[in-house]
Amino acid sequence: MLNRKQAPGITDPAAFELQLRKHDYFELDNGTPVYAVNAGAQDVLMIDMVFYAGNWFEEKNIVAATTNFLLKNGTSKRTAFEINEHFEFYGAYLNRNCYTDETASLSLHTLTKHLPELLPVMSELLTDAIFPEQELQIYKQNQQQRLRVNLKKCDFVANRLIDEYLYGFDHPYGRYSSAADFDAVQREDLVQFYQDYYTKGHCKIFVAGKLPADIQQQLNTAFGHLPFRKDKPAKAHQIQPADKKVQEIINDAAGVQGAIRMAAPAINRHHPDFPKLQVVNNIFGGFFGSRLMANIREDKGYTYGIYSYLQNHLHETALMISTEAGRDVCAATITEVYKEMQLLRDELVDDEELSLVKNYMMGTILGDLDGPFQIINRWKNYVLHGLNEQYFYQSIEAIKTITAEEVQALAKQYLQEDQFYALTVV
């Protein structure tokens, strides 16, 4: 019996031998790949249907996002109200998302026993969505109102512009919406995109939780007969970054706070340096105990929080720094960010700080593996990025073995001031 009067021993997370639970794999009759993790103690499951239907493939701005949003807003048999009521009656949650990338998804969370009542309706949404004109008009009105409100916020404007500077407005990663875009979207655009990229699209299915014994049969009955294509659609886009690296935008002349975004193109997950660059990023600004946070929040008091992260799109990657600061200290904040880059380039990180970051990263990964939904999400990430389980173990090894000298060498290569765009929006 566990002695609760005796404190458990402390184990260094970096000493853990983490294992990634393997997924099962099978294909439906139409060739649709299914990745499954059968685990968990509760009778719940998640089905995530990923389509190559992101804004990467749209011919007209915001068509992909609008199509995805209105997927569950009406079929020839059910109204939007009836569809939502059906899923709510069974205590299920049906969500959809469209990403600034190649993919969009339709996701279901439900009790396992209700799957037979819910899968046919999901199938109906993928073959019989009609995009009612009234629903489209409501969507346009709501989105335009939301856009008007958001455009008054400096952080919202900064997020749009930094992506445009990095990739160019004509690239899917740098494009953003306007009121005119919503006016221009027509129902016919949605119907065509839906037929091309959902009804006849390329789909991958990820399922996790306490799966019924006949999960393959249930999925096959619901989706195995649909005319999904077997190959991913292909489309290329050229990056056209901005020439000017430093930008200052006055969005609100009376604003007292500025949004700062700094970004530079970076290597993607297929580059051998990437796992160890993640360690460097965490030391720099990747968590609450990072150098940016210690200096700019704790020491200078310029901001409530500042983070850096690797923005992982399927095709491109960027190292991004994000914060909001007082208007009068925005320039000083940027100066301090560059100072921290220089310190990482010039001085070796000490053993205590490096050990802290290693433990933090190992602990984060350990938490991310807690439960079938988290495990399938990690697998989904790997599958969509064309990676396998070796990437997981290589990342673990990189965290455990990186040295102070390697941190410095990577900082010299990837944390150079002249590589970064620096944007301030007040």
SS3 95: strand
Rounded-to-integer distance, Cα 420 and Cα 320, Å: 9
The pLDDT of residue 124 is 97
- 60 burial type by CB count under 10 A (0-12 exposed, 13-18 middle, 19+ buried): middle
Distance CA 198, CA 68 (A): 9
What's residue 1's pLDDT?
74
Segments of the chain scoring below 70 in pLDDT? none
Separation CA 297–CA 305 (nearest Å): 6
Please report the pLDDT score of residue 424 as a whole number.
Answer: 98
Task: Measure the CA–CA gap between 242 and 168, rounded to whole angstroms.
Answer: 7
Among all chains, which residue has been given the structure tokens 């690239």? 171
pLDDT at 370: 86
Strands 104-111 and 246-249 turn out to be unpaired
Residue type, 76: S
- The structure tokens listed for 397 are 């090894």
- Flag whether the pTM goes above 0.85: yes
3-state secondary structure of 148: helix
For residue 15, what pLDDT is reported?
A: 79
- Distance CA(393)–CA(388), nearest Å, equals 10
Distance, CA of 355 to CA of 399 (rounded, Å):
10
How far is 162 from 145, CA to CA, in rounded Å?
Answer: 23
pLDDT at 14: 76
Between the alpha carbon of residue 161 and those of residues 124, 179, 303, 320, 424, the distances in Å are 38, 16, 21, 13, 10
Q: What pLDDT was estimated at residue 295?
A: 97
